[in-house]
Amino acid sequence: MSRVVIQGDASGTGDFTIAAPNSNTDRTLTLPDEAGEVLVTDGTTLVVDNTNNRVGIGTSSPDAKLQTNSGGGAGTTTKHIQLHSAAGEDNVTLRIAGTVYTGATQTSIDFNQNAGTNFQSFIAFGTSPGTGTTERMRIDHSGNLLVGTSTSRTGSDSLSFESANSLIWFQKNGTATQSQVIFQRDTTGTPTIVGSIQTSGTTTTYNTSSDYRLKENVVEITDGIDRVKLLNPSRFNFIADSDTTVDGFLAHEAQAVVPEAVTGTHNEVDDDGNPVMQGIDQSKLVPLLTAALQEAITKIEALEARVTALENA
């Protein structure tokens, strides 16, 4: 068996230099004491930290089991890969991070697999808004895809999208009636479902919240006919579909009668002068139409009663 023995000096360190051919830079291997570091310097630094059991490439002080830095400072993008096990086999992290325009390490992409309780692993992706790291998307242990949230709203078979105060989630349907899409709003810390798309074996229902416990100041519509007469139902075609003529309303005209049925502002444009189109939910005209029809029925029944009385006179 062949071996190379290097005699260190009194401090416990020693150097082993390999002369490079053709006038290239020599390579130097520095061997500190056992509790210190092993450095290989050749433009790039390799660090073996025996004290903390860490390896660093491109850094002299790795803070994970394996850390690589590509260099660069403020105004550049520094990429590195970091493998970490903070609590044994049930907590493993693979992190791809970077420094972007600040000179301080910030995570731009974060991939995690954390076994946690009962080894229920998940994969999470995060980005940096400027400082620190914010989780953006997760695939949990049940296979749910979660965007903007780390919690499945249904427990299984779901796809969730969540922002600061609203939520949409999709749920796998069984044989019974079940919500496929759920819309939720949260402005007070207590999530409230405001709508859903529900299916059964053969039908689809589009729901908006309507429970009486959500409402107050309930009064009867008494001017149904007068307001319906202000509506201007029309026939037209959309510019993008000139061959199809449909029945409907112009949004700004209906907005003057039933404002809650229309979104947007008449003739609105964005900062670049581009039109911001209005929209209409024609189903919200149904209460007014129903009230007008009831008023008309009442008048018809009154007239019928008068005609019957005259005929019997």
Plot region of 119 (φ>0 → left; ψ -120 to 50 → alpha; else → beta):
left
Residues 179 and 259 in one domain: no
Question: pTM of the full predicted structure?
Answer: 0.57
Of 216, 236, 262, the residue at which a domain comes to its end is 216
Note whether residue 167 is domain-resident.
Answer: yes
Instruction: Give the percent of the chain with pLDDT over 90.
Output: 34
If you average pLDDT over residues 138-161, what whole number do you get?
74
**Residue 39, C-beta contacts closer than 8 angstroms, at least 6 positions apart:** 29, 30, 32, 45, 46, 47, 60
Reduced to 3 states, what is the DSSP secondary structure of residue 274?
coil
Q: What is the pLDDT of residues 85-141, one digit of tens each?
A: 555 444 545 655 554 444 444 444 555 555 455 556 677 777 766 666 677 888 777
Task: Output the CA–CA distances (angstroms, integers) from residue 312 to 299, 302, 303, 305, 309, in the order listed.
Answer: 20, 15, 14, 11, 5
- The residue segments making up the domain with residue 275 are 224-312
Q: How many CA atoms lie within 13 A of 133 on its CB side?
A: 18
Reduced to 3 states, what is the DSSP secondary structure of residue 182?
strand
Question: Residue type at 279?
Answer: G
Residue 123, beta-bridge partner list: 113, 139
Residues 306 and 235 in one domain: yes
pLDDT the model gives residue 43: 41
Of 216, 244, 278, the residue at which a domain comes to its end is 216
Residues 262 and 290 in one domain: yes
Asked whether the beta carbons of 98 and 106 are under 8 A apart, the reply is yes
- Chain-wide mean pLDDT for the chain? 75
Note whether residue 273 is domain-resident.
Answer: yes
DSSP string covering 52-86, please? TTEEEES-SS-SSSEEE-----TTSEEEEEEEEES
Decide which of 84 and 242 is more confident: 242
Dist CA 78 CA 162 (whole Å): 30
Note whether residue 289 is domain-resident.
Answer: yes
The residue assigned the tokens 């690589």 is 68
Asked whether the beta carbons of 236 and 248 are under 8 A apart, the reply is yes
Asked whether the beta carbons of 244 and 238 are under 8 A apart, the reply is yes
**Token representation of residue 280:** 């209409």
CA angle 288, 291, 293 (to 5 degrees): 110
Note whether residue 172 is domain-resident.
Answer: yes
Note whether residue 304 is domain-resident.
Answer: yes
CA angle 13, 15, 18 (to 5 degrees): 165
Question: By mean pLDDT, which of 2-11, 53-62, 150-159, 264-273 is the weakest?
Answer: 2-11
pLDDT the model gives residue 113: 52
Dist CA 141 CA 135 (whole Å): 16
Residues 166 and 237 in one domain: no
Indicate if the pLDDT at residue 26 is higher than 70.
Answer: no
Note whether residue 83 is domain-resident.
Answer: no
**Token representation of residue 35:** 């509790």
User: In which band, very low, low, confident or very high, does the pLDDT at 1 lie, cut at 50, 70 and 90?
Assistant: very low
CA angle 126, 127, 129 (to 5 degrees): 140
Note whether residue 258 is domain-resident.
Answer: yes
User: In which band, very low, low, confident or very high, does the pLDDT at 58 lie, cut at 50, 70 and 90?
Assistant: confident
The residue assigned the tokens 């249904």 is 154
CA neighbor of 66 nearest in space, from 57, 77, 74: 57
Asked whether the beta carbons of 47 and 61 are under 8 A apart, the reply is yes
